[in-house]
Structure formats: structure tokens, C-alpha cells
Amino acid sequence: MLPFRFSDFAAASVHVFTALGAVCGLMAALAAFDGAWERMFIWLGVALVIDAIDGTFARLFQVEQRLPRFSGERLDLVVDYVTYVFVPVLALLQAKYLTGTGGLIIGALILLSSLYHFSDLASKGDDYSFVGFPAIWNVVAFYVFTLSPPGWVTYTALLLCVALTFVPIHWVHPVRVKRWRMLTLAVTAAWSIAAVAIIATGFPPPAWAAIVLSASAVYFVWLTIDLSFRPDVQHSA
């Protein structure tokens, strides 16, 4: 009988913790079918938190060394595809932000382009940036629900993000970015506060929260352009 080692149990528990993101995805999908959009984004938010901190636990408990047969990275990608891509597309369709044949085509393009991104071995740079649009469709969907733009604006924005998946510009990681780090962390914190306020009060959101989200989007796009095209910045992917 193999000896019980707490370290192995702890390592396996990290994989279980990561896999709970899929359960969050299921709960979010059920909320989408009910039209309970705030509840859906709560579950997607929980999945986002799990995704943000499971890597820290994996390094702390040396999961890769203790359980080499099981790939935490592969598990993470499967869960992320459910919560970052599939459920947000489902929500956009259920909420009628995507309608008819055109809406189904755009939804299919999102699913397919995201599969390309998730399978791209060069999708991350050495500076922790994402190469090509990072398939954060949960965030994109949150913006659509928050701002409720005209249909043509929504369709154009979604198609632009799909196209940018294949353009090798470097999108900043909101926590790991080095350039303008303190300002970026402050903007990320402000975005998080506004997002929580929107979910707490429901859609349509308070005006100040929508303004914070809009300003944050402008800042991150600017930072991505600055990171990608500054001549003194070298990237490796």
C-alpha cells in the first residue's frame, strides 16, 4: 500500500481547486439560461478569481514536481475555455446581443479563434504579455452588458477582437505588467471596484461605474499599443 503523504494530497487539491472553475462555468451557464445576468457574472467572477490564484497554490505545493503525470496547465486551459469563451458567447446569444444568422456566425468565429489562441504555443511573451487578443470574452461580454451599445457597434467590436487574435501585438497582463506597474495596478483595482458595484446594483449600471470601465478600457488599449510599438521594447514569444 502506497504511503499517504500530505504534500501529495495538497498538490492534488490544487488541481481540484482549478477544476472548480468548470463548476462555476456550469452555474454561470444555468444563470444565463434563466436570464439572471448578475448571477451569471458572479459565477464568472468566481472562476476568474480561481484562475488568478491557483497558480500561486500550484507553485507553493510544487504540484508539477509531485504530480508530473497531470498537467495543471492543460486543465487550466480547458476550464478557461469554458468560462472565458463558451459561456460568454452563450450569454451574448441568450441576451439577444447576437441575433439571427449573423449573430451565430460571430459566435462561431469567437469560439474558433479562441481555440487557435488557446492552442498557440507562442501566445505568451517573456514579459508575461499576451500575443494576440487574449480571448478574454468574459470581459468583452461584461462590457457589452454594461454599455449596451448599438448592435452595429457590438458586432464591429466583436469582429475586431476576433481579427486581433491573429495580430501579434502584445496585450498587457493587468497584474504582471512591469511598465507603469503601479498606475496599472491602480486602474485594475478601480476596474474591479466598478465591476463589483455593477453586479451588486444590476444592469443598467451606475453612470460612474460605466465611466470607470470605459476609461479603464482606453487605458489598457493605450498601454498595449505602447508596449507593442515602442522601439526600445524587445519581445520574445
Of the candidates 171, 160, 214, which has an alpha carbon nearest to the alpha carbon of residue 191?
Answer: 214
Q: Is the pLDDT of residue 229 over 50?
A: yes
Distance (Å, rounded) from C-alpha 65 to C-alpha 49?
A: 24
**Does the pLDDT at position 80 exceed 70?**
yes
Q: How far is CA 63 from the centre of its chain?
A: 23
Locate cell 468574459: which residue? 138
- Does the pLDDT of residue 19 top 60, yes or no? yes
The answer, yes or no, to whether residue 108 has pLDDT greater than 70, is yes
Count the alpha carbons within 13 Å of 160 in the hemisphere toward its beta carbon.
7
Chain centroid, CA 45 distance in Å: 9
| Res 231 pLDDT > 60 | no
- Which of 64-73, 115-124, 126-135, 185-194 has the least mean pLDDT? 64-73
pLDDT tens for residues 28-61? 999 999 999 999 999 999 999 998 887 776 777 6
Percentages helix, strand, coil for the chain, rounded to the nearest 5? 70, 0, 25
Could you tell me what percent of the chain has a pLDDT over 70? Answer: 91
Chain mean position to CA 26: 16
Question: In Å, what is the CA distance from 221 to each residue of 6, 35, 230?
Answer: 45, 31, 14
CA-CA distance, 140 to 153, in Å (whole number)?
A: 13
Q: Is the pLDDT assigned to residue 9 strictly greater than 80?
A: no
206: three-class secondary structure by DSSP: coil
Residue labelled with grid coordinates 468566481:
46
Lowest mean pLDDT among 58-67, 74-83, 198-207: 58-67
Question: Residue 4 corresponds to which cell in the numbers above?
Answer: 499517504
Nearest CA to 59 out of 4, 125, 14, 21 is that of 14
The C-alpha cell of 200 is what? 451588486
For the residues 209-232, what does the mean pLDDT come to? Answer: 88
Strands 170-171 and 130-131: antiparallel
What pLDDT, on the 0 to 100 scale, is given for residue 30? 98
- Name which residue leads in pLDDT, 233 or 176: 176
pLDDT tens digits for range 169-205: 989 888 777 778 899 999 999 999 999 999 999 999 9
pTM score over 0.85: yes
Write out the DSSP string of 102-128. HHHHHHHHHHHHHHHHHH-TTSB-TTS
d(CA 181, CA 198): 26
